[in-house]
């Protein structure tokens, strides 16, 4: 194991020699190929992370477009209160119009019922006269 550390050099042979004592020794070229492969994977992962970081950074709008100042928030709250008041007054107006409409409809219905009652009374009277004539 001591010869492997001295001949191959670097961190990887030391780690392999200490962590895997039962394996046969591989030629130094395989160590270098493994190190190159790990380096390429690390380089690709770093490039991917850098691309994602700059893509996310670029796609975000500036803070002035994202956040509102206190004055803007106060103005929006004031506008919201005005809209709520307008909606409330509209609801009250609609409610009064509905009550007026209902009262008009009730008066019409009562007039119609009174007329129907008159007609039924006359029909009953005529029916009674007809019954009297049959006897």
Residue holding tokens 């796609």? Answer: 59
The alpha carbon of residue 36 and the mean position of all alpha carbons in its chain are separated, in whole angstroms, by: 47
Average pLDDT, the chain: 81
Model confidence pLDDT, tens digit, residues 69-122: 889 999 999 999 999 999 999 999 999 999 999 999 999 999 999 999 999 988
From the CB of residue 31, how many other CB atoms can be counted at a distance below 10 Å?
A: 18
pTM over 0.75: no
- Split at pLDDT 50, 70, 90, the class of 13 is low
**Residue 20, pLDDT above cutoff 70:** no
Spell out the domain ranges in the chain: 1-60, 68-135
Above 90 in pLDDT, residue 18? no
Q: Decide which of 129 and 43 is more confident.
A: 43
Task: Write down the residue that tokens 């509209």 correspond to.
Answer: 90
Cα 119 → chain centroid? 63
The predicted pLDDT at position 14 comes to: 52
Distance from C-alpha of 115 to C-alpha of 125, rounded to nearest angstrom: 15
**Cα gap 84→80, rounded to integer Å:** 6
């Amino acid at each position: 194991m001591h010869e492997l550390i001295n001949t191959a050099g670097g961190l990887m042979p030391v780690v392999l020699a200490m962590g895997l004592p039962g394996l046969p020794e591989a030629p130094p070229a395989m160590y270098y190929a493994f190190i190159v492969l790990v380096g390429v994977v690390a380089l690709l992962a770093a490039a991917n992370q850098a691309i994602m970081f700059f893509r996310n950074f670029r796609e975000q709008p500036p803070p002035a477009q994202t956040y509102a100042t206190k004055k803007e928030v106060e103005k929006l709250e004031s506008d919201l209160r005005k809209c709520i008041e307008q909606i409330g007054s509209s609801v009250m107006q609609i409610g009064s119009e509905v009550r007026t409409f209902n009262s008009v409809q009730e008066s019409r219905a009562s007039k119609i019922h009174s007329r129907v009652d008159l007609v039924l009374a006359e029909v009953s009277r005529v029916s009674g006269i007809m019954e009297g004539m049959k006897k």
